[in-house]
A and B are shown apart, each in its own frame.
Chain A
Amino acid sequence: MSVPVPLDPPRRLVELEVDGRPVRVPEGSTILEACRSEGIETPTLCFLDTLTPVNVCRVCVVEVEGSRVLAPACSRRVEPGMKVRTDSDRVRTSRRMVLELLASSVDLSLASPDVGRWMRDYGAEPERYGPPAPAAEAGERDARRAGHHEEPVDGLAATVAQPVKVDNELYVRDYSRCILCYKCVEACGVEAQNTFAIAVAGRGFDARISTEFAVPLTESACVYCGNCIGVCPTGALMFKSEHDLRRQGNWDESRQRVVETICPYCGVGCHVELHVQDDEIVKVTSPLDHDITSGHLCIKGRFGYQFTQRRAPVGASPDPGGPPEHAG
Chain B
Amino acid sequence: MDLHPIDAEPTAGEREAVDLVLGPPESGWRGGEWRPEVDGHVAFGGRAERERRHLLLPALQALQERAGWITRGGLGYVCRRLAVPPAEAYGVASFYGLLSTEPRPPRVAHVCDDLACRTAGALELAAELERLVGPEGATESGSAWLRSPCLGRCERAPAALFEQSGADSYQWSVAPVTAEQVRAILAGEPWEGPAPSDGAPQTEDLGARAGLRLLRRVGLVDPGSLDDYRANGGYAALRRAVELGPEGVIREVKDSGLLGRGGAAFPTGVKWEAVARQPVRPHYVVCNADESEPGTFKDRVILENDPFSVVEALTIAGFATGAERGFVYLRGEYPLAHRRLVRAIEAAGARGFLGEDVMGEGFRFDIEVRRGAGAYIAGEETALFNSIEGRRPEPRNKPPFPVTHGLFGKPTGINNVETLVNVLEILRIGGPAFAGIGTPESTGTRLFCVSGCVQRPGVYEVECGTRLRDLLGLAGGVRAGHELRAILLGGAAGAFVGPDALDLELSFEMARSAGVTLGSGVVMVFDETVDLGDVVLRIARFFRDESCGQCVPCRVGTVRQEEALHRLAAGREIGSREQELRLLSEIAQVMRDASICGLGQTAASAVQSALQRFQLFDGRSS
User: When chains A and B are docked, how far (Å) is the Cα of A228 from the Cα of B375?
Assistant: 29
Beyond A104-B560, A146-B96, A212-B89, is A205–B590 a contact (Cβ under 8 Å)? no
| Contact of A97 with B96 at beta-carbon distance under 8 Å, contacts A69-B592, A212-B90, A220-B87 already known | no
The interface centre, meaning the residue of A155, A203, A210 with most chain B CB atoms within 10 A of its CB, is: A203
In the complex, identify which listed stretch (A7-15, A189-197, A249-257) lies at the interface while the others stay far away.
A189-197
A227, B169: Cα distance in complex, Å: 44
B590 pairs with A197, CB closer than 8 A: no
Interface residue from A128, A143, A147, A204 paired with B102 (Cβ < 8 Å): A143
Note all chain B residues with C-beta closer than 8 A to A90. Answer: 589, 593
Contact A61-B594, Cβ < 8 Å, known A69-B601, A220-B4: yes
| Closest chain A CB from B581 CB (angstroms) | 13
Q: Mark out the residues of chain B between 75 and 117 whose CB falls within 8 Å of any chain A CB in the assembled complex.
A: 75, 85-91, 94-97, 99-102
| Interface flags, B558-584, vs A, CB<8A=1, else 0 | 111011101100101011000000010
Q: Are A97 and B589 in contact (CB under 8 A)?
A: yes
Query: What distance in Å separates the Cβ of B290 from its nearest Cβ neighbour in chain A?
Result: 15
Q: Is B53 an interface residue (CB 8 A)?
A: no
A20 to B595, CA, bound (A): 25
**Interface residues as binary, B1-32 with A (CB distance below 8 Å gives 1, 0 otherwise):** 11110110000000000000000000000000
CB-based contact B553/A97 at 8 Å: yes
Bound Cα distance from A219 to B91, whole angstroms: 17
CB distance from B152 to the nearest CB of A (A): 15
Q: Could you say which of B159-167, B298-306, B540-548 contacts chain A?
A: B540-548
**For the complex, is A281 an interface residue (Cβ under 8 Å from B)?**
no
Contacts of A309 on B, CB cut-off 8 Å? Answer: none
Interface assignment of B552: CB less than 8 Å from any CB of chain A: yes
Flag if B558 contacts A204 (CB, 8 Å): yes
Contacting pair B593 A221 (CB below 8 A): no
A148 within 8 A of B: yes
Interface 1/0s, chain A 144-160, versus B by CB < 8 A? 01111101110101100
Closest to A45 in B: B552
State A266–B284 Cα separation when bound (angstroms): 48
Measured in the bound complex, the distance between the Cα atoms of B568 and A130 in whole Å is 13
- Given A146-B374, A213-B101, A200–B586 Cβ distance below 8 Å? no
Q: Does A101 count as interface, using CB distance less than 8 angstroms? A: yes
Complex CA distance for A72 and B595, rounded to whole angstroms: 10
* CB pair A199 B556 closer than 8 Å: no
The answer, yes or no, to whether B307 is at the interface (CB within 8 Å) is no
Q: Is the CB of B87 within 8 A of A210?
A: yes
Tell me if A's interface is mostly helix, strand, loop or mixed.
loop
In whole angstroms, how far apart are the Cα atoms of A152 and B567 in the complex? 9
Q: Is B149 an interface residue (CB 8 A)?
A: yes
Count contacts on B: residues with CB < 8 A to the other chain.
68
Partner of A196, one of B85, B397, B550, B587: B85
Q: How far is the CB of A88 from chain B (nearest CB, A)?
A: 11
Q: In whole angstroms, what is the CA distance A258 to B592 when docked? A: 45
**B3-A155 in contact (CB<8A):** no
Q: Do A129 and B563 have beta carbons less than 8 Å apart?
A: yes
Inter-chain contact B566/A151, CB cutoff 8 Å: yes
Inter-chain contact A204/B574, CB cutoff 8 Å: no
Complex CA gap A90/B589 in Å reads: 8
> How many whole Å from A54's CB to the nearest CB in chain B?
8
Report if A221-B3 is in contact (Cβ < 8 Å); known contacts: A75-B397, A152-B563.
yes
Q: Are B563 and A58 in contact (CB under 8 A)?
A: no
Q: Which of B499-539 contact A (CB under 8 A)?
A: none
B 266-321 contacts with A by CB, 8 A: none
CA distance A75 to B2 in the complex (A): 30
In A50-106, the 8 Å CB interface with B consists of 55-59, 61, 69-70, 72, 75, 90, 93-94, 97-98, 101-102, 104-105
Q: Check A101/B557 contact, CB under 8 A, given A94-B593, A155-B570, A200-B91.
A: yes
Question: Taking CB as reference atom, which chain B residue is nearest A63?
Answer: B593
Q: Cβ of B86: which chain A residues have Cβ within 8 Å of it? A: 211-212, 221
B254 contacts the other chain (Cβ, under 8 Å)?
no
Residue of A nearest to B553 (CB): A58
Q: How far is the CA of A212 from the CA of B72 in the complex (A)?
A: 9
| Nearest CB of B to A301, in Å | 19
Contact flag A93-B549 (CB < 8 Å), given A157-B560, A197-B87: no
A147 and B397: CB pair below 8 A?
no
A280 within 8 A of B: no
Decide yes or no whether A321 CB sits under 8 A from chain B.
no
Measured CB to CB, the closest approach of chain B to A260, in angstroms, equals: 31
Closest Cβ of chain A: how far from B347's Cβ, in Å? 35
Interface residues of A in 171-192 (CB under 8 A from B): 179-180
Closest Cβ–Cβ distance, residue B565 to chain A (whole Å) = 9
How many Å from the CB of B332 to the closest CB on chain A? 12
- Chain A's closest residue to B101 (CB) is A213
- Knowing A201-B94, A221-B87, the reply to whether A180 touches B549 (Cβ < 8 A) is yes
Is B118 in the interface zone, CB < 8 Å from A?
Answer: no
- Give min CB distance, B558 to chain A, whole Å: 7
Known: A93-B586, A146-B94, A207-B555. A199 touches B87 (CB 8 A): yes
Whether B392 lies near A200 (C-beta < 8 A) is: yes
A206 CB–B CB distance under 8 Å? yes
Chain B contacts for A57, CB-based, 8 A: 551-552
Contact call B593/A70, Cβ cutoff below 8 A: yes
For B564, list chain A residues within 8 Å (CB).
129
Residues of B within 8 A of A210 (CB): 87, 90-91, 94
Q: Are B374 and A204 in contact (CB under 8 A)?
A: no
Q: Tell which of B94, B589, B593 touches A202, judged by Cβ atoms closer than 8 Å.
A: B94
* Cβ contacts under 8 Å, A204 to chain B: 544-549, 555, 558
**Nearest CB of chain B from residue A281's CB, rounded to whole Å:** 29
Q: CA A180 – CA B552 in complex, angstroms?
A: 9
- Alpha-carbon gap, A61 to B551, bound state (A): 12
| Residue ID in chain B nearest A93 by CB atoms | B589
Answer yes or no: A35 CB below 8 A from chain B CBs: no
Kindly list chain A residues whose C-beta atoms are within 8 Å of the C-beta of B545.
147-149, 204
Known: A58-B553, A145-B100. A130 touches B601 (CB 8 A): no
CA distance A61 to B590 in the complex (A): 10
Name the B residues within 8 Å of A75 (CB-CB).
Answer: 397
Confirm or deny: A198 has a beta carbon within 8 angstroms of a beta carbon on chain B. yes
Q: Does B549 lie within 8 Å of A105, measured CB to CB?
A: no
A228 and B96 alpha carbons, distance in the complex (Å): 26
Q: What 7 A-B pairs are tightest by C-beta distance, nearest first?
A: A207-B549, A221-B4, A196-B85, A97-B590, A199-B91, A212-B86, A147-B97
Can you list 10 A-B pairs with a CB-CB distance of less than 8 A?
A: A58-B553, A98-B553, A128-B583, A129-B560, A130-B567, A147-B375, A196-B85, A197-B4, A203-B375, A207-B548
Please report A residues at the B interface, Cβ cutoff 8 Å.
55-59, 61, 69-70, 72, 75, 90, 93-94, 97-98, 101-102, 104-105, 128-130, 143, 145-149, 151-153, 155, 157-158, 179-180, 194-207, 210-213, 219-221
Q: A61-B593, A128-B574, A207-B549 are in contact. List 16 more A-B contacts (CB 8 A).
A: A93-B586, A97-B594, A101-B557, A130-B567, A146-B97, A147-B375, A147-B545, A196-B87, A199-B88, A199-B91, A202-B95, A204-B544, A205-B559, A207-B548, A213-B75, A221-B4
